Structure 1
Amino acid sequence: MCLGIPGEIVELLDGQPDLARVDVSGVRRAVNIALLEEERVGPGDWVLIHVGFAMSKIDEAEARAALDFLESIGQAYEDEIAALRESGTD
C-alpha cells in the first residue's frame, strides 16, 4: 500500500534547489519539492509526500489530522514509516 504522508520541512538543501529535508514522524529524509515551485515552501511548512515527492503544501492542522488518521490505521502506516526509515535516502 502506498500512502501520502504529511511531513514538515526542516531545511532546504544547499546547492540542490529541488530537495528539502523533511521530518516524517521522527524520520528525516530528502524529499523532492520540484512539484511545488509555485508554492514557495520552506522550513516549518508541511507537505504531503508520496514516493519521495512533495505533492502539495498543507497546513499544520490538516497535517495533524492526516497523521492522526494514519496512526489509527495501524500496520499500513507502520509499514510505510519502516520503509521510509530503511530507504537510506537522507
Structure 2
Amino acid sequence: MCIAVPAQVIKVTENKALVNFGGVNIKVDTSLVDVLNIGDYILLHAGCAIEKLNKKEAQKTLELFEHILKDE
C-alpha cells in the first residue's frame, strides 16, 4: 500500500522545493504541480509533489495522522 502525506513548502526553485515533512526538511520534485509559494501545502508521494493542497485540508489530515500515532 502507498500513502501520500501533506508537507509545507519552505523554499521553491524551478521544479524543486524544500518542504517540511513531520519536522524534517526534504527536497522534492514539483514538476507535476502548478505554481507553488512558500507556506503552501503539497501532497507528497515518493519524493514528488503530486497535488497542491488547501491549507485547511492539509492541517486536518496532519491532525488525523498525529491522532493515529498517539493511539499506538
How many Å separate the matches in 2 of 1:40 and 1:2?
Answer: 25
What is residue 23 of structure 2 aligned with on the other side? Answer: 26
Superposed CA RMSD: 1.6
Higher strand share: 2
Q: How many pairs were matched up?
A: 70
How many Å separate the matches in 1 of 2:23 and 2:50?
Answer: 20
**Counterpart amino acid of 1:4?**
A
Q: Structure 1 residue 67 and structure 2 residue 37: aligned?
A: no
- The share of aligned pairs that are identical, in percent, is 30
**Counterpart amino acid of 1:6?**
P
- What TM-score does the superposition give when structure 1 sets the normalisation length? 0.70
- What TM-score does the superposition give when structure 2 sets the normalisation length? 0.86
